Structure 1
């Protein structure tokens, strides 16, 4: 049996984020935090949003209390405040290592999990579905990043799942 689909999806999420960091480092430095009229007011803010959301969902999957998740948000806000592109890349790398360590130690990725949100209530779901959510969220906002890069006059980077599949078969 091969790797669980949820782990493969998460690997794609990491791969696609790395593709963006590589592309952004090739572009003029000022596009990273330049204020623009778009979905987010800067590429930096879009990256912070992805990072914050990934942080929240890792806490949920670890079955942390809502208080612990809220505390992790405050820590992540402090960690990401006024960070350079290179510093954000390191934060993403570190968070992906935390995810991979956690996910690789979950004995059953199809196991039920029941997080309780203060506003939305109880959710009966599975680890694999939450991983899918993290990946979908990242994909959605990488689309925003692509538009924001193009809006500033530059080409973005191909990061569709199928390109990840092609790339991962070369290894």
Structure 2
């Protein structure tokens, strides 16, 4: 299972870096692009803290910043997930946590890992649409392209 999640989160880093490069090298008017990219990083840190309780300055889910801050946050949080996977031995443990509304849940670590990866993919799809609306070609970030690289 470790190998599968390692591969998935290495892909997550690869795909996030593709979008970071496009965001950094283009000018755009729609602030939703930066907001969504920032959200990916925020959510990654929030979910990691729910498992490890080690993150400092856990952001709000929709906290915003500049595009450079968003890129740094996404890169940092993506690497922290990969580091967590490298150090993790048990993926079927169930953890208890509170969501942003204060509701308590219990979820397997493996399901959280799957959620975090899918969450990033979902928002990168939204980013691709927003970039196209700005006449910016989004990167091709499908998993199969990562596998072929």
TM-score, normalised with respect to structure 1: 0.73
Residue 158, structure 1, aligned to residue 140, structure 2: yes
* Superposed displacement of residue 9, structure 1: 1.2
Structure 2 counterpart SS, 1:114: strand
1:47 to 31, 37, 41: 37
How far the C-alpha of 1:116 sits from its partner, in A, is 3.9
Residue by residue, what CA displacement relative to the aligned partner does 1:80-119 show, whole Å, maximum 9, x if unpaired? Answer: 53x243x432222222232222221111123332334454
Structure 1 stretches of 4+ moved >6 Å? none
Deviations along 1:50-80, whole A, 9 cap, x unmatched? 1111111010121x3xxx8895125x94xx5
Alignment of 1:50-61 (within 5 A): 50-61=40-51
CA RMSD of the aligned region, Å? 2.6
Alignment partners' CA distance in 2, 1:113 and 1:8: 23
What stretches of structure 2 of length at least 5 have no aligned partner?
Answer: none
Q: Structure 1: give runs of 5+ residues left out of the alignment.
A: 36-40
Q: Distance in 2 between matches of 1:70 and 1:102?
A: 15
- 2:58 match: 72
Distance of aligned partners of 1:46 and 1:111 in 2 relative to their CA distance in 1, 3 Å threshold: same
Matches within 5 A, 1:113-152: 113-117=95-99, 119-123=102-106, 125-152=107-134
Q: Distance in 2 between matches of 1:102 and 1:159?
A: 23
| Alignment: residue pair count | 147
Residue 46 of structure 1 deviates from its aligned partner by: 0.9
TM-score (norm 2): 0.83
